[in-house]
Amino acid sequence: MDMSTIGQVAVKLAMEKNDDKLKRLIEKASSLGYKVMTGQVGSMQMEKVIASIETGARRQGIISNVYREEHSLYHAIIEALEGICRGQLNLGNALRTVGLKFSVVSGPKNVEKKEKGNWLAVVLYGTIGAPIPGFEHEAIGMGINHI
């Protein structure tokens, strides 16, 4: 699994549990021209998941504090949540909770095919399930937007 596209970079970052390997992935991504950040969040409240990613991405400088960029990030997060929720965007209302690691990546859509303009990728990866330990399975979601 290589890292020549923004989606591959974002998936690799969100799924890497080992801190040393994550550090090397971040360095490699940076050398390819990507701005990246990772984080984690667990909640039954979907708004907390969204806020956590938005705050992280802004603090790490992946997006700047203007509405156009926040709008792009917001829609990428919502699209990634569709993959996590698979059908209806709710967590606690549907008696389920998530434990997620996430990545936000900006840069070229494809490292090899040089195209003008930045894109934004959000990947969420982790578990979703009942609020009972172990009663959960994996889920992944990816949202990509122009920025």
Residues 66, 98, 103, 105: which binds a second copy (CB under 8 A)? 66
Q: By CB under 8 A, is residue 16 in contact with a second copy?
A: yes
The pair of structure tokens assigned to 117 is: 């303009």
Alpha carbon distance 121, 146 (integer Å): 9
Helix (H, G, I), strand (E, B) or coil at 7: helix
Q: By CB under 8 A, is residue 64 in contact with a second copy?
A: no
What DSSP assignment string belongs to 20-78?
Answer: HHHHHHHHHHHHTT-EEEEEEEEES-HHHHHHHHHHHHHHTTSS-SSHHHHHHHHHHHH
Query: Which of the residues 18 through 57 are near a second copy (CB under 8 A)?
Result: 18, 21, 45-47, 50-51, 54
Q: By CB under 8 A, is residue 78 in contact with a second copy?
A: yes
Alpha carbon distance 14, 99 (integer Å): 12
Alpha carbon distance 83, 25 (integer Å): 24
Query: Which of the residues 96 through 135 are near a second copy (CB under 8 A)?
Result: 96, 109, 113, 115-117, 119, 121, 123, 129-130, 132, 134-135
Which residues lie near a second copy (CB under 8 A)? 1-2, 5-8, 11-12, 15-18, 21, 45-47, 50-51, 54, 66-68, 70-72, 74-75, 78-79, 82-83, 85-90, 92-96, 109, 113, 115-117, 119, 121, 123, 129-130, 132, 134-146
